[in-house]
Structure 1
Amino acid sequence: MNESIRVVFFDAADTLFHVNGSVAEIYLAHAVQFGFQQSPGSLDAITQAFGRAFRDAPPALFAETDPVKLKDSERLWWFDIVHNVFYRVGMFERFDDFFGEVFKAFESPESWRLFPDTVPSLQDLRNRKIELGIISNFDSRLFSVMRGLGIADLFDTITISSLAKAAKPAQKIFHLALEKHAVDPEEAIHIGDSIRDDVQGATQAGLHAILLDRQGRKTDPQVRSIRSLKEIPEILER
């Protein structure tokens, strides 16, 4: 494999970096500041409501090509998600002000933390002359997050669903990413934390795929997995 792999693609959130705390904790903390009446069960209720809201929501794909209008579409999509959540757990008067603040919060690098193995692993791959790319269902705030975390310059390409007009596990987003590097699917590996979006999506598009399973929870023996990004060079050398 080491002679044929030219590009290593990564998922972004929960692969290279993670939320500083939890999503529900951040939303709850901001909501309380704007008048939400917290109860002992609020955190669990918000967590569960987000799960339902994401299941009910359409994919975050938009016809807009103008950058400003695209950002507006992304913001409206998230507004509907968050409104759905707090409609279930308790609406409050200053919801619009709250949403504006919490939406900006997730664009800030302070809301995210790099995994300890991220930067050393990416630098190792670059030293090996391997091209690096991102394939993510994150919205355009990803660019600000990656710049703030200091990893944007380590990547040759970044492909996100709202710009690609396709979301993982659809093959289209993987093929668009491959085109940016002018490589065939078998010359690339995609690494991420989701069996459905990252492993199955990449495999169906013809790429090699590796599950990043940091907690060792994988149950499917047919899925190739690693516990740390530092294991990637070993995979390439096999």
Structure 2
Amino acid sequence: MHAPLRWVLWDVKDTLLRVRSSVGEQYCDEAKRMGLSLTPSEVDAAFRQAYRHQSSRFPNYGIAQGLDGQSWWTAVVKATFFQCRVRDPALLSTMATNLYQSFSNAENWEVFPDSKSSLESCSSLGLKLGVVSNFDNRLEAILRGCGLLSHFNFVVTSEAAGVEKPHVAIFEQALQKCGAPPSSIVHVGDHYVNDYLASRSAGIHGFLLDRTNNFERRDVPKEHWLSSLDNLPALLKQHMNESF
């Protein structure tokens, strides 16, 4: 018999909130403040290449290689602007520092309209909430600035955990914080592999959030699929004392 539902774990980026404007636009704004003229399209292309390269060489912010989130992102920003013909080392360092701090601010993040109401509804059901996110250690400050942090009993980031989703170890760390069996926990996220499959591999009940109806996964039962977080509380209430 499954344990009664007690916890809801949450992904954050593109589940509860998203970047307010594109990376290219925000990087161009910083470049403009430094007297440079770049286009969002060229910066976006350079960023994607720099991000892929850095992620390949140093997965999960390079924690295993002795890096941290800030040094990892500093390298990405510098490589992005370097590809856009910015060569001054001091200028690259200044922009990297400014952008790292800028993305720590709530002003650069947009909370989805259904996020707060869903979190509040889950809490009103007597459920405890936690975060499991592939994010650096700025996440708590971002959640606080967005008015979301108080909803959570704990936050597990991949930088702090030393491992990222879809590795089961990050969910095992969350399970320790919950102090409850996996069968009493659900996880909500927008990524099929990192959130849905990974949580289920840890014995947690996964729900896949698909705001744009992009997923056509026949192996995701309709009762595990969400088009909006507005649908979640009623579904959880239905299963509070039932087996999934």
What TM-score results when the alignment is normalised by the length of structure 2?
0.86
How far, CA to CA, are the matches of 2:168 and 2:211 in structure 1? 25
More displaced 10-residue stretch of structure 1: 184-193 or 30-39: 30-39
Aligned partner of 1:67 in structure 2 is none
> Residue 145 in 1 paired to residue 142 in 2?
yes
Matches within 5 A, 1:122-201: 122-201=119-198
Give unmatched runs, 5+ long, in structure 1.
Answer: 65-69
Per-residue CA deviations over 1:168-200 (Å, capped at 9, x if unaligned) read 111111011011111111111111111121112
More displaced 10-residue stretch of structure 1: 78-87 or 193-202: 78-87
How far, CA to CA, are the matches of 2:13 and 2:74 in structure 1? 20
- Letter matched to residue 220 of structure 1: R
State whether residues 132 and 156 of structure 2, in contact with CA within 8 Å, keep that contact through their aligned partners in structure 1: yes
How far, CA to CA, are the matches of 1:215 and 1:187 in structure 2? 29
Residue 138 of structure 1 aligns to a residue in which SS? coil
Residue 68 of structure 2 aligns to a residue in which SS? helix
Aligned partner of 1:87 in structure 2 is 82
Matches within 5 A, 1:42-61: 42-46=42-46, 48-50=48-50, 52-53=52-53, 55-59=55-59, 60-61=61-62
Aligned partner of 2:68 in structure 1 is 73
Deviation at 1:27, TM superposition (A): 1.5
Deviation at 1:91, TM superposition (A): 2.4
How far, CA to CA, are the matches of 2:156 and 2:70 in structure 1? 19
Per-residue CA deviations over 1:59-116 (Å, capped at 9, x if unaligned) read 225269xxxxx9x822111112222323333324211111111110000011111101
Deviation at 1:18, TM superposition (A): 0.9
- Letter matched to residue 193 of structure 1: D
> Residue 108 in 1 paired to residue 109 in 2?
no
Identity %: 30
Deviation at 1:164, TM superposition (A): 1.1
Per-residue CA deviations over 1:109-164 (Å, capped at 9, x if unaligned) read 11111101011110111010001000011111111111111111111111111111
Deviation at 1:22, TM superposition (A): 1.6
Question: Quick one: structure 1 residues 231 and 50, their matched pair in 2 at CA, closer, same or farther if it must change by over 3 Å?
Answer: farther
Aligned partner of 1:229 in structure 2 is 229
The number of residues matched between the two structures is: 232
- Letter matched to residue 165 of structure 2: K
More displaced 10-residue stretch of structure 1: 219-228 or 133-142: 219-228
More displaced 10-residue stretch of structure 1: 167-176 or 1-10: 1-10
Deviation at 1:207, TM superposition (A): 0.8
